């Protein structure tokens, strides 16, 4: 990424990459290689990721119970796992398909199967979106509807630029974190 002018990125910032690299207290490339899950990333790890992501989003599911439900179908009620199962399906779809705008909308359609109306799945929102806490106070407000499509297009322009680059592990983690932070 060194030879690519930072000005080509439209929404993701490369301004902090040097500070990020200096702050690493271990060799990320070595640590990542040591995980040795490249050949065994299967359903077990993706299921754990889906369960934890569901918990982050407030879904009342336990990782242990979710893994058991995957290993012993029929033990838990289908309602208990359906939203996490939808997320798992979206993860599996994302793993097999290129990271682009069309596929993100398809993944959104898959993961929202049990909590959005059919006509809202896989679409950019057109109204104000926000998240409330347990006391019904707004804790997060999404981008205004009139800029969502434009900002999403800029994001995917940046993602395509990054995908065309040969990034090392540290740069890959930096930009993945920045994408998550920005969007």
Average pLDDT value for residue range 56-81: 81
Q: What is the per-residue pLDDT across 93-141, written as a single tens digit (0 to 9) for each?
A: 998 999 999 999 999 999 999 888 899 889 887 888 888 888 999 998 8
Residue 167's Cβ-count burial label (10 Å; 0-12, 13-18, 19+) is middle
Distant-in-sequence, close-in-space partners of 62: CB < 8 Å, separation ≥ 6:
51
Whether 4 has a pLDDT exceeding 80, the answer reads no
pLDDT score for 37? 58
**What is the model's pLDDT at position 61?**
86
Burial class (CB in 10 A: 0-12, 13-18, 19+), 20: middle
| Residue 48 pLDDT | 86
Which of the two residues, 79 and 14, has the higher pLDDT score?
Answer: 14
Q: Give percent of the chain above pLDDT 70.
A: 92
CA dihedral of 144, 147, 151, 153, whole degrees rounded to 10? 130
Backbone angles phi, psi at 139, to 5 degrees: -110, -15
pLDDT exceeds cutoff 90 at 73: no
Q: How many CB atoms lie within 10 A of CB 53?
A: 16
- Average pLDDT of span 156-178: 93
Look-up of token digits 């199962």: 85
**pTM across the whole model:** 0.77
């Amino acid at each position: 990424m060194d030879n690519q002018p930072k000005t080509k990125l439209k929404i993701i910032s490369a301004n902090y990459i040097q500070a990020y690299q200096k702050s690493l207290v271990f060799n990320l490339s070595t640590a990542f290689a040591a995980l040795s899950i490249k050949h065994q990333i299967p359903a077990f790890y993706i299921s754990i990721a889906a369960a934890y992501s569901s918990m982050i989003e407030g879904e009342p599911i336990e990782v242990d119970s979710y893994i058991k439900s995957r290993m012993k179908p029929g033990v838990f009620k289908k309602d208990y796992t359906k939203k996490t199962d939808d997320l798992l399906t979206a993860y599996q779809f994302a793993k097999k398909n290129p990271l682009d705008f069309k596929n993100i909308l398809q993944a959104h359609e898959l993961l929202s199967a049990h909590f959005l109306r059919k006509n809202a799945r896989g679409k950019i929102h057109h109204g104000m979106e926000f998240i409330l806490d347990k006391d019904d106070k707004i804790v997060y407000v999404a981008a205004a509807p009139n800029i969502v499509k434009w900002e999403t297009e800029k994001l995917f322009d940046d993602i395509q630029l990054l995908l065309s680059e040969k990034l090392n592990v540290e740069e890959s983690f930096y930009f993945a974190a920045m994408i998550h932070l920005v969007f």
